[in-house]
Amino acid sequence: MAKIMIQGTGSSVGKSLIVAALCRIFKQDGYSVCPYKSQNMSLNSYITLDGKEMGRAQVLQAYAAGLEPQVFMNPILLKPTADAKCQVIVNGKVYNNHTAAEYHNLKILFKDMLKEDFLKLESDFDIVVIEGAGSPAEINLRDRDIVNMGMAELVDAPVLIVGDIDKGGVFASLAGTMLLLTEEERKRVKGTIINKFRGDIDLLTPGINMLEEIIKRTCLGVVPYFNLILEDEDGAMMEINKKATAPIDVAVVMLPHMSNFTDADCLKCEEDVSVRFISSKEEFGMPDLLIIPGSKNTIEDLNTIKDSGLEEAILDYSKKGITLGICGGYQMMGKEIGDPLNIESSMESIKGIGLLDTITTIESEKVMTRVEGNVNLPNFKGNIYGYEIHMGKTIVGDDVNSFITINRENGVETNKLDGVFNNSETIFGTYVHGILDSTEFREYLLNKIRTKKSMTQRKSPVYEGFREEELNKLADIVRKALDMNKIYEIMRLK
């Protein structure tokens, strides 16, 4: 089996999309390929068909490789819950909550597991494309590293280092990274990639030549800056839209512990819809749809909404617009959230926004399920699909209506109710992440808005098909930018 590892000079340099691109290129070239990231830190996660949790970046990479996402592609997931503390998920299941220092001491225990699992991949795939995390030059973490050079050494993988030129300082970042590596680590580095370039390549060439002379490594290509509608990693939140750029304005409340903001990504494939993120009442405006997303710390994020003045703006907006709460957002929209076991906070309870007649209690058991069902609206009964990831049980009062009937859970037939909506069908709450990926419901909701705005109704594209087209565009861009013959040579393949 061949392998290649993509590391970066820092977070958000584009490692995840480069890995996705290589997975699609290798697949197009006839190889069976698998993405792999030993440890991912992200609040964006996903539930596999067998009810296990993994990072969303590896989900996109799996699709690029033509595979169903599985947790062996991301065996360790870290989900920050508060400053210097995170929930550790191992092989798709909750391991425990740990401080950064505690987890650093634990990492060495996972090395044997990671090596054993990786050896299984060697017999199942022609190529494994490995992604690092952050930077290999985090020398304070070198002694127990299991995701950058430590992982490369564990599985004997050649390394390419990606630098982001859009932020500036790419030559210093690449040279400085090489400087801080040990001699053995430097031997693993077979080349560099410059990412997110805008401008005249002829002006960049002298700098590339000087860099190659300094670090004694070839630059394998310069990837241009591009705008494709593919799922963002957490770091890309720095570049989110603040203003509406299309007739239908969708606003997403940006929370400090926001999770699965990818729930709104499918809206970007609608030509007349723009998505923006708001964190203050001054940014609120008058959106056509307001989404209150998931949260890894619902109580703290609800406090932020109250302290920022957004609660008052949300209550005022709810009298005129359409509001959708997903997971933690659904919990916040109720009358009260209780946390008697202090799982998320030192507060035992907090008053909710009060948009829905529901009361939620945070519980220690984490619900992780893939679901299918149908919507129970008076004028719409379409199918939906998605997944649930939450710690909490919601009790529904008499002043709301049941939103969704779940009829399959992790592939097993069931009959459960999820979520609620108000009598005027303007306020919706659900635990189902990815509900807007469901073409029928997204089309119904957007056409409801179009009718209100006297716009022509539209058919919504199937998001999965749209994503496939974008992944092929990504592969085309990266294939043209990189010396793929050299990369195959590094992997000892044709």
Tell me which residues are annotated as active site: 327, 433
In this structure, are residues 271 and 96 in contact, taking their beta carbons and an 8 Å threshold?
no
The single residue listed with the structure tokens 């998320």 is 344
End-to-end Cα, the chain, rounded Å: 13
The pair of structure tokens assigned to 1 is 């089996």
CA atoms of 35 and 414, how far apart (whole Å): 33
Q: Does the CA dihedral 447-450-451-457 come out positive or negative? A: negative
Q: Which letter does DSSP use for residue 225 in this model?
A: P
CA atoms of 167 and 236, how far apart (whole Å): 12
- 99, β-bridge pairs: 85
CA atoms of 288 and 454, how far apart (whole Å): 13
Per 3-state DSSP, what percentage of the chain is helix, strand, and coil (rounded to 5)? 35, 30, 35
Q: Which residues are CB-neighbours of 376 under 8 A, at least 6 positions away? A: 401, 402, 403, 404, 405
Q: Please count the helices (runs of H) and the strands (runs of E) in the chain.
A: 14, 27
* Range list of H helices, 107-235: 111-124, 149-155, 170-180, 183-188, 201-215
